[in-house]
Structure 1
Amino acid sequence: MRPATAAKLRANAATIHQLGRQHGLHSFALSTEPGELVATLDADRSYFDITSFETDLSTILGALVEVVPRGPGVDINETEPLNDLRGAA
């Protein structure tokens, strides 16, 4: 499976945010790497939640998605926030 493109991730931002809430992930941003998202993981969640999110979203999009959680010691380049534009005027 090929990595999701930035355009595909942007087009599915609402789905990403909705699914992310179910898995304890929020504040998504695009990374410089294809198919890679940066996100904040809720304190009461684990890497199992990240893996479940990646699997579920990759299945929905038909393209590989990886998540890098923000945190100490994580050096990742974010290119732009992935906003959930539902309800935007």
Structure 2
Amino acid sequence: MRPATAEKLRANAATIHQLGHRYGLHSFALSAEPGELVATLDQGRSYFDVTGFETDLSSILGAAVEVVPRGPGVDVEETEPLGNLRGAA
């Protein structure tokens, strides 16, 4: 499966935010890497939540999506915040 494009991620921002809420992910931003999102992971959540989100969103979009949770020691370039005012998949 090919990585999701930035355009596809932007166009599906509402879906990303809704699904993220279920998995304890929020404050999404696009990364410099194709198909990669940066997000904040709620306390008490785990990488199982991150991988569940990635799997579900990749299935919905028909393109691979990876999430990099913000945190200590994480160095990833965020290119733009992902607003949630756009359409759904």
TM, length-normalised to structure 1 = 0.95
Amino acid at match of 1:68: V
Aligned partners of 1:66 and 1:59: how far apart in 2? 12
DSSP-derived class of the 2:27 partner: strand
Aligned to 2:83: 83
Q: Percent identity?
A: 83
Aligned partners of 1:44 and 1:57: how far apart in 2? 21
Structure 2: gaps (5+ residues):
none
Aligned partners of 1:5 and 1:56: how far apart in 2? 17
TM, length-normalised to structure 2 = 0.95
The one of the two structures with greater contact order (alpha-carbon pairs below 8 A, sep at least 6) is 2
Q: How many residues align?
A: 86
Aligned partners of 2:76 and 2:2: how far apart in 1? 21
Amino acid at match of 1:49: D
Amino acid at match of 1:82: L
Aligned partners of 1:51 and 1:20: how far apart in 2? 11
Aligned partners of 2:6 and 2:84: how far apart in 1? 15
CA deviations on 1:3-29 (whole Å, 9 max, x unpaired) are: 000000000000000000000000000
Aligned to 1:56: 56
* Match status 1:66 vs 2:66: yes
Amino acid at match of 2:30: L
DSSP-derived class of the 1:71 partner: coil
